[in-house]
Amino acid sequence: MIKKKIFGTCFFEYVEKYKNEEDAIKGERGTFIEVKVRDLKIERTNITKEDSDGSKNSFAKAERSATKETWEVSRAEV
């Protein structure tokens, strides 16, 4: 199995709707309206290969493990 994790930053706007001001001020959960994401910046991508038995080795790259390999790809290389 191959796992891909993407790390980065962004600005987002999360919009909820409330029946009244008191609920919004108290931090009550409102009705979800939308999420807007902007200025998405991908810093790096981590791709991990695991054996079917699920064995994990967090230091696989340094040890050159046969069961799991990890690649770090910076955004500049993509």
In the prediction, which pLDDT does 46 show?
92
Encoding tokens for residue 43? 């810093």
Residue 59: which domain range? 2-77
Q: How many domains does the chain have?
A: 1
- For residue 19, give the nearest of 30, 34, 32, 9 by alpha carbon: 30
Give the pLDDT of residue 58: 45
**pLDDT at res. 72:** 55
> Tell me: the pLDDT tens digits for 22-73?
999 998 899 999 999 999 999 999 999 887 776 655 434 433 444 445 555 5
Higher pLDDT, 1 or 30: 30
